[in-house]
Amino acid sequence: MRVDRHARLGVRGWLRKAVTVVAAAVLVSSVGGAVAGAAPMGGATDLLVPSSMGPIKVQVQWAARGGSSALYVLDGLRAPSDHSQWTSDTDALRQFAGDNVTLVFPVGGRSSFYTDWYRASSTNRQPVTYKWETFLTKELPAFLAGYGVSRTNNAIVGASMGGNAALTLAAHHRDQFKFAGSFSGFVHPTFPLWNEAMRAAMWDEGNFNVDDMWGPVSDSAWKRNDATEQAELLRGLPLYLWTGNGAPGPLDIPNGVGNTINAMGLEAMALAAAQMFRDRAAALGINARIDFVSGTHTWPYWQQALANARPMILDALGAR
C-alpha cells in the first residue's frame, strides 16, 4: 500500500510539474508574441485595435521581408469609417509592396485632426471624445509591437487634415517618428481667422464643433497643434512638405468642374500655410524639403507626393 501511495503521489507531482511547465511555456510564448513577436512578411490585413474610443479598424500592409519599421499614413478631413482613402484613392499599397516597411492606415477620425479633443463634439451628439494622439502614439504602437513592429522606428505622413497632424505628432513624439511628411496640409492653424475656416470645414463634415477640440483660439492647445509654431521641435528630423499652387491640371479632369474649383480654393490656403512654414523653418535654420508644384487639393496629387517622399522614408527608416 505504501509503495502504491508513493507511486500515486509521484505521478501527481509529475503531472503538476508538467502542467506548470506547459503553462509557463504558453505564457512566455504569449508575452513574447505581444512584446517582440516576429513581423509577418508581406501581404495585407485588417486589424481591430482596442482604444479609449472603442475598437479602431487599422488597415496594414506588412513589410515585404519582415522588417520592423512602419509608415503611418493619415487620411483627410472626410476620412471614411470603413477604410482609408489612401487604400482606395491612391496606389500607396503598390508603391511600397516590395519595400521592407509596414504601412499602417488608421481608419476613421473624420474632422478629428488626429488630436486629443477636450471633450466630445457638442453639436452632433458624438458618443465618445476623440483621443487620436493617444491612439497613434500609445495604444496603436503597443498593439503593433505584438506583430514585431517597432515602437521607435516609424515615419508618418498625412494629406490635408492629416498633414499638419503628421508634423505635430512627430514634433511631440520624436522617440517614435524618424520622418514626417505633409501633403497639402494646413500647417499653421493659429494664423488669424484660420480657426474660423476650420470651424466651417468641420461643420460641413459632420457638424463637428472646433471649440470642443481645442477650445478658443487663445488656448495653448492651438499652438501645440500648429506645425509652424512647433517647428523648433522638428529640428534634425527629415521632413517633406508638398503643396500645389491651386492651378488645375490633367489630374483634376476626372473629378469634375465643381470639385476642381473647390480643390483650387483649398489648395490656395494650403499653399499660404506651407509658405509660412517654409519661412519659419528657414529663420530657425531647420532643413526641410518643400515642393511647390502645379496641382490642387485632391488625391491624385497626394499619390504623387507620396511617391516623391518614398526614397526619403526608406532612407530614414533604414528600410531599403
- pLDDT tens digits, one per residue of 83-136: 999 999 999 999 999 999 999 999 999 999 999 999 999 999 999 999 999 999
Hey, what CATH topology would domain 39-317 get? Rossmann fold (3.40.50)
Count of CA atoms in the C-beta half-sphere (13 A) of 37: 15
Q: How many whole angstroms separate alpha carbon 195 and alpha carbon 298?
A: 22
The domains of the chain are located at: 1-36, 39-317
Q: And the C-alpha cell for 152? A: 521607435
Least confident of 18-32, 231-245, 251-265: 18-32
Q: And the C-alpha cell for 200? A: 466651417
Share of the chain above pLDDT 70, in %: 86
- What integer pLDDT is reported at residue 19 of this predicted model? 33
Q: Hey, which residues are catalytic here?
A: 160, 267, 297
- What integer pLDDT is reported at residue 249 of this predicted model? 76
- What integer pLDDT is reported at residue 87 of this predicted model? 98
Beta pairing partners, 239: 180
- What integer pLDDT is reported at residue 254 of this predicted model? 59
Q: Are 67 and 100 in contact (CB under 8 A)?
A: yes
